[in-house]
Amino acid sequence: LTLRWNPGIGEILFNGGFETGDLAGWTTENSGYGSWVINDGNLDPDGPDGPLPPLEGKFNAMTAQIGGGEHLLFHDVFLPPDALRATLSWSDRIHNHAIFFSSQQQFRVEVRDTNQNLLAVAYQTQDGDPYLNDWTQRSYDLSGFRGQTVRLAFLEQDGIGYFNAHLDAASVRLAAPETPTTFDVYLGTAPTAGPADFRGNTTNAFWSSPSLALNTKYYWQIVARRGAGLARGPVWQFTTRGIGAVDHFEWGRIASPQLVDQRFAATLTAKDDINNTVKNFNGRVTVTGLPGSGTGSSVVIAELEIGTRDRVEFANASDSALDLSGWQITVYDVVSWPAPLVTVTVPAETICPPGALFQLEDNGQAPGQFPNFHAGTNVNWGFSALGNPIAVLLRDARGEVVDFACAGNADPALITRPMPIPAEEWSGPPVLAVLPFLALTLQRVGNSDHNDASDWTLATNTFGFLNHGLSLPFVRPLATGLTPKVLTNFVTGVWAGFLAVQDPAPRLTLRAADGRGHFGVGNEFAVGAAGDVGVAVADSPDVVLVGDLLTYRLTVTNSGPNKATGVMLTNLLPPEVEFLSAATFDGACRNSGNLVVCQLDPLSAGDSARVTLTARTIASGLITNLATVARAEADGFAANNTAFAVTTVTGPSISTTNVAVVEGNSTTNQARIPVFLSAPCTLRVSVNYATSNSTAIAGEDYVATSGTLIFNPGVTNLSINVPIIGDLQHENLELFFVNLSEPTNGVIVVAQARCRIADDDAFPLFSIDDVTVTEGPPGATVDAVFHVGLSAPNALTASVDFSTADVTAVAPSDYLTTFGTLIFPPGTTNQSIHVAVHGDNRFEPTETFQVTLANPIGAQLGRSQGVGTILDDDSGELDRFVWNTVPSPQYAGLPFIATLTALDGLDRTAVDFSGPVTLRGIADSREVTVGADTNLWEYPLGTHYHDARTQVIYLPAELGGPGKINALALQVSSVPGQPLTNWTLRLKHTSMTGYVQPAWESSGWTTTYQNNENVPSPGWITFLFSTPFDYDGTNSLLVDLSFNNSTYSVNGLCLSTVTPQRRSAFFQTDSAFGDPLTWSGTTAPPPSMLNRIPNVRFFIETPVAIIPSGTVQVIHGVWSGPVTVPQPRTNVFLRANDAFGHIASGNGFAVESSVDADGDGMPDAWEIRYFGSTKATAHADADG
């Protein structure tokens, strides 16, 4: 039991890492859709994000929603007044799938009081932040709130799109004072702590108590001391639990050795989960004798991935769950060999279900957690036959071997740390580690563990899945006979009695199981037979080269209790060896060919005799040495009177390796391919070789070569020379192979070398030229043709990407955005790029755009940028209208001459222009601009879809009072890629100041403008209303803008302004809902809403009647004629516009009354203006 308390320093936030697997300690408040939830790395939230792992540990908190809403997660914390500092820290991962952040789309961290009043904002996202930030640690100083309970609030708010917020590693840490605090610990059964309850003093914030009585109430208190001051904590209490249900069994220690069929005392105790004896247990328990430690091959090494990720996978091959706590995984590689590279200890409380897989990867943070453990360092495994030791050792918590595997050229006999590898854990050569493809791994197969390379094969990577040839659980090893096999009659949870083992076993472990998943494993001990003479044989080395020496060590033992006499050892050497010598200190040996007979001295009880045989191998293969022992007396156990050793005799490994060579030009280079033996051999070794084509062709790229390499005794390295044919043509990297075959006195391990011929000829260069074109008339296009060339012919297919970009010309109004890839087949040196240039009748300066080459393949970039120049041909076309100056004043009802002139781009009269122009009279004009931000927005000109509609609220305070709205202008940043069919502007009054639920208004509109509109250029684009709108000055103004196309192109972009409220409703579609003018309600289609408005300019004016009004004809660039204003008016001006957006307003003038009360032919107003009375005479008006 460990007592813990909060000392007022360090971490004081409970469950800030969410490692309880829930939101314990936290409170959530959610509105709208979704909530804060716990993520274990497998949670797949709605929206574009998929499952994501926590930053730390097993869990983190995240928001999961299917729609908009506000999701609050908070934790209340008291900050001690005497803390030096208090710091809040956390890590977040924020992914906003909307198009920007706003007050309705953000992640915010707040400090509040417990009444939810805001005290401070620790962090909030801002418009302009990246839409995705990966895990980011942040912090905030809470020191100003010491002495208070604060609410730490994490708020995610979304309204216009999916928003995924992840939170992990939240923490509040208090800085410690300079004088350390110590703590007196009191623990006892009395409610009031006394001197007898004092347990000690510590500077830690925890105390581990000794064992406590069961079913007992305890009281404990902490007294904090700093200098002369002290503070007593409250008295806490807890009650210890009683004895639990059976969790496992525990054997008493069994002495070693025991004798066959002789009873020995044993005890078995039923234990609960905290190791209390379960005294009421009286069930039946089955006892099994298992070879070795009892855990051997219960978990096996199942798969090795070498050369790429260097990782190992394990499988529970037993039929029950295993507690892996404290088990150790040891890895060996070329860097550490034969010492361990790293040993990873499995964390406590790690349970592995039957049939489950887990793995150890290199790097990462050790040890990790089930099923993904980490070595914490780089493992260096390769797929070479030489210099590539690969080995993994798995041991249980007692240090006993569970499984071992080795590959490459690892020799288990060289391993001494953390323990020598027992001979029975691996026999024969290591697993071959040569992989022809990187997708292959070394995989265990079968249903039992033979502890040799026969358990392994090469197969396609199956990490995370059971190997195709592996069958689980493994076949159980044959159990050693026991008496009794079932234990009953437990007394107060303990069985005490006698057991007998019926067969000898050098290593035996008892396993007890009740059939309900509870078991216990005892200590390892040996069992021998009385009066038994046995023999054991070991070979060295276990894998030997043909022609080398081989040693057999034979050991004869006597178990006693009586002396063994007439001991005769007979050894039959295999025919693949030649006998050299036999040696012993315990008798005499003689041989007849390969039969060796030794007459040994008498052996007392417990004694042993040793014999060493030396032979030379003369042939390869698996060879078996057989030894037999006999005695004069009757033997107590015959099964161990015979022993054998199987040895692998092989030739040295023959390997080759890949090489690279530079091609050269007209001369011939040599590719030298090394071939080597794994070790010197006393015999002559030979191997045949021959080249073969891959992408390189014999006779064109290299000279075909074949022959035989001969390694004389002691030689380990030779080479094969292949001539390379050079040229001057640029080519790809080319390959050919050298293949080994038909070895003698050796074994081919790496049979093929890949030779790469690297091209050393210079890359040809791509270049592009400049082009100049004249634009042409409206509706016509002319191609700007850019020529792209290669500096030299190429033997390869080459390609290069191209794309256009604006300079002073703007796509798509001036030219068509063009991009793609040019392909140059071998031998081709010229291609062209065609860019369509759009004609118009607007006067413009000379404009340019660029075509840029990028991403070359098979060649390199030379001149990578071409300039397209567009010459204007519209200097004589209509550019604008101008009015002549109208003198002021004029007089009501009296005509005056007005002249409208059409000018071309050079300010000359556009004599080629003749056509209709609309005349209007206007008074009291004012311009109101709403919106000043520069945010780009595709609405209302979003032509990336067929149709679009935008419905925007403008507020009375922005419009500046009542008036007749005569025109509206949009601030265009880039023009749409096509005309706007049925471009319609509608206005109406509304009481709304923002949208709560967006809906399409379907009635009450005034259609003020409708036209098939071609937006000519960026800037303020004005639409003169055919029907002015009378704005009342008190309501908000609802403006509806829509078009109805049948195709799509690139969006136009307007400047827009962010607003506190959601004031725009909008939608784009490809003709799915019919004419946008007929859309209505909230679902047909469902509009989106946003706190943003397009920047607009309203022209609020009073129409003035004039004669003539409406359409007049301009002839050869001029219209001139009498104009009459029927009624007096101040600040009158004339306006003219055509159907193509040309608008001209004249100067302001006054129109005074034309009344002539005295009938003298002169308006009274004129007489008063110039003479101060109406008494002027006619001769005063000299000009009539």
Q: How far apart are CA 384 and CA 401, in angstroms?
A: 28
Structure tokens at 883: 């009015």
Q: Tell me the three state secondary structure of residue 637.
A: coil
Which are the contacts of 561, defined by CB distance < 8 A and separation ≥ 6?
A: 530, 531, 605
- Phi, psi values for residue 453, rounded to 5°: -70, -15
Q: How far apart (Å, rounded) are the C-alpha atoms in residues 77 and 13?
A: 7
Q: What single-letter DSSP state applies at residue 1074?
A: S
Cβ-proximal residues to 1048 (8 Å cutoff; 6+ apart), any chain = 943, 944, 945, 946, 978, 1070
What is the DSSP secondary structure assignment for residue 1164, as one 8-state letter?
A: H
Q: How confident is the model at residue 178 (pLDDT cuts 50, 70, 90)?
A: low
pLDDT digits (tens, 9 = 90+) for 459-517: 999 999 999 999 999 998 777 889 999 999 999 999 999 999 998 888 899 999 999 98
Q: Is 845 exposed, middle or buried (0-12, 13-18, 19+ CB in 10 A)?
A: exposed
Other Cβ atoms less than 10 A from the Cβ of 634: the count is 7
- ∠ CA 677-682-686, nearest 5°, is 50
What is the per-residue pLDDT for 294? 83
pLDDT band at 66 (very low <50, low <70, confident <90, very high): low
Contact 319, 288 (CB under 8 A): no
Q: Residue 836 forms beta bridges with which residues?
A: 783
pLDDT of 198 higher than 70: yes
Q: What's the DSSP call for residue 1168?
A: H
- Mean pLDDT across 12-19: 89
Distance in angstroms (rounded) separating the CA atoms of residues 848 and 867 = 7
How far is it, in rounded angstroms, from Cα 1135 to Cα 883? 9
Those residues whose C-beta lies under 8 Å from the C-beta of residue 914, and which sit 6 or more positions away, are 1113, 1114, 1115, 1116, 1117
Confidence of residue 1160 (pLDDT cuts 50, 70, 90): confident
From 301, 295, 299, 329, select the one nearest 431 (Cα to Cα): 301
Q: Per-residue DSSP letters for 155-176?
A: EEEESSS-EEEEEEEEEEEEPP
Predicted pLDDT at 11? 80
Return the closest-CA partner of residue 65 out of 49, 89, 79: 49
Q: Mapping DSSP to helix (H, G, I), strand (E, B) and coil, where does residue 136 land?
A: strand
From residue 762, give the alpha-carbon distance in Å to each of 732, 860, 862, 1064, 1075: 12, 9, 13, 59, 61
Is the separation of the CB atoms in 225 and 183 below 8 Å?
yes
pLDDT in tens, 223-260: 988 777 788 889 999 999 999 999 999 999 999 889 88
Q: Beta strand 668-677 with 642-650: parallel, antiparallel or unpaired?
A: unpaired
Q: Could you tell me the two tokens for 482?
A: 């026991």
What lies within 8 Å, CB to CB, of 1088 at 6+ separation is 160, 998, 1065, 1066, 1067
- Chain mean pLDDT for the chain: 91
Looking at residue 1127, what DSSP letter applies? Answer: S
Distance of CA 1077 to the CA centre of its chain: 45
528 vs 522: CA distance, rounded Å: 18
Two structure tokens written together for 1063: 């004031």
Per-position DSSP letters for 295-327, written without gaps between them: -TTTEEEEEEE-SSS-EEEEEE-SSS-EE-TT-
Higher pLDDT, 1157 or 351: 351
Q: What is the pLDDT of residues 932-984, one digit of tens each?
A: 999 999 999 999 899 999 999 999 999 999 999 999 999 999 899 889 999 99
Distance in angstroms (rounded) separating the CA atoms of residues 370 and 355: 14
pLDDT digits (tens, 9 = 90+) for 1094-1112: 999 999 998 999 999 999 9
The 10 Å Cβ neighbour count of residue 486 is 9
367: number of Cβ within 10 Å: 19
What is the per-residue pLDDT for 1181?
Answer: 59
Report the range of poorest mean pLDDT among 176-185, 399-408, 492-501, 873-882.
Answer: 176-185
- In contact, 984 and 1009? CB cutoff 8 Å: yes
Instruction: Tell me which amino acid residue 1013 is.
Output: E
With beta carbons less than 8 A apart as the criterion, state whether 839 and 779 touch. yes
**Burial per residue of 751-789, b for 16 or more beta-carbon CB atoms within 10 angstroms, e otherwise:** bebebbbebebebbbbbbebbebebbeeeeebebebebb
3-class secondary-structure state, position 256: coil
Residues with Cβ within 8 Å of residue 697, at least 6 apart in sequence:
none
Q: Which residue has the higher pLDDT, 785 or 261?
A: 785
Read off the pLDDT band of 126 (50, 70, 90).
confident
626, 578 contact by CB (below 8 A): no
pLDDT in tens, 904-913: 888 899 998 9
pLDDT digits 0-9 by tens, 372-428: 999 988 899 987 766 789 999 999 998 999 999 999 989 898 999 999 998 889 988
At residue 586, the pLDDT reads 96
Read off the pLDDT band of 300 (50, 70, 90).
very high
pLDDT of amino acid 132: 84
- What is the spatial distance between Cα 1071 and Cα 659, in angstroms, rounded to a whole number? 62
pLDDT of the residue at 998: 85
Identify the CA nearest to 987 among candidates 955, 938, 953. 953
Strand spans (E) along 472-559: 482-483, 486-487, 494-501, 505-513, 519-521, 525-528, 533-540, 543-545, 549-558
Tell me, what's the pLDDT at 667?
Answer: 66
d(CA 790, CA 828): 8
Least confident of 173-177, 550-554, 1113-1117, 1147-1151: 173-177
Can you list the positions of beta strands (E) in 1070-1117? 1088-1090, 1092-1094, 1096-1104, 1110-1114
Token output for 327: 């088990």
| Closest among 627, 632, 635, 610 to 566, alpha carbons compared | 632
Stretch (H or E) spanning 1170: helix 1164-1171
